[in-house]
């Protein structure tokens, strides 16, 4: 998809053709892609859930499970409480360790799941995870 610039000037006659053909804008020609731009080229927001998924994948654990364990309030002001469960296995052990954390109530389901993931991450950091290779 290419962007066509809007004709400049006070003339708003859109039925006429421009006298000089202007090249269409492309994504690479925008100033956001310059090295001096303060905006990163591909901005990625890391959430607690994405960090938890990454740690589980690197450690070869099962994926974390997020479940809504409580919904309170009227329909227009509902708060959600999520629980995060991670099954982790030590390399030298044959048994699985179950880590459960209940997050703070939030007005948004995604934020509630992130709150539970933050609790699991806090616990894992205090256990010494992620392990250094």
**CATH number of 90's domain:** 3.30.160
Residue ranges making up the domain that contains 110: 67-127
The answer as to whether 73 is a domain residue is yes
For residue range 73-118, list pLDDT tens digits in order: 999 999 999 999 999 987 777 888 899 999 999 999 999 999 999 9
The answer as to whether 55 is a domain residue is no
The answer as to whether 29 is a domain residue is no
Q: What is the mean predicted confidence (pLDDT) over 13-28? A: 51
The answer as to whether 42 is a domain residue is no
Q: Which pLDDT score, from 0 to 100, does residue 39 have?
A: 46
The confidence band for 55, taking pLDDT boundaries of 50, 70 and 90, is very high
More confident residue, 129 or 9: 129
More confident residue, 61 or 30: 61
Give CA angle at 18 (14, 20), nearest 5°.
165
The confidence band for 51, taking pLDDT boundaries of 50, 70 and 90, is very high
The answer as to whether 99 is a domain residue is yes
For residue range 110-121, list pLDDT tens digits in order: 999 999 999 999
State pTM to two decimals: 0.64
* Structural domains of the chain, count: 1
pLDDT of residue 32 exceeding 80: no
What is the rounded CA–CA span in Å between residue 121 and residue 110?
A: 16
The answer as to whether 120 is a domain residue is yes
The answer as to whether 107 is a domain residue is yes
What is the rounded CA–CA span in Å between residue 101 and residue 66?
A: 10
What is the rounded CA–CA span in Å between residue 25 and residue 68?
A: 45
Q: Which pLDDT score, from 0 to 100, does residue 9 have?
A: 52
């Amino acid at each position: 998809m290419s962007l066509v610039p809007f004709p400049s000037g006070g003339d708003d006659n859109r039925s006429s053709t421009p006298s000089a053909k202007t090249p269409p804008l492309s994504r690479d020609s925008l100033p956001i892609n310059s090295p001096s731009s303060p905006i990163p080229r591909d901005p990625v927001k890391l959430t607690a859930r994405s960090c938890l998924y990454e740690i589980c994948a690197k450690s070869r654990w099962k994926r974390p499970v997020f479940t809504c364990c409580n919904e309170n309030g009227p329909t227009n002001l509902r708060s959600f409480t999520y629980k995060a469960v991670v099954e982790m296995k030590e390399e030298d052990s044959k048994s699985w360790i179950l880590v459960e954390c209940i997050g703070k109530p939030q007005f948004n389901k995604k934020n509630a799941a992130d709150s539970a993931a933050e609790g699991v991450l806090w616990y894992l950091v205090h256990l010494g995870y992620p392990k250094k290779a």
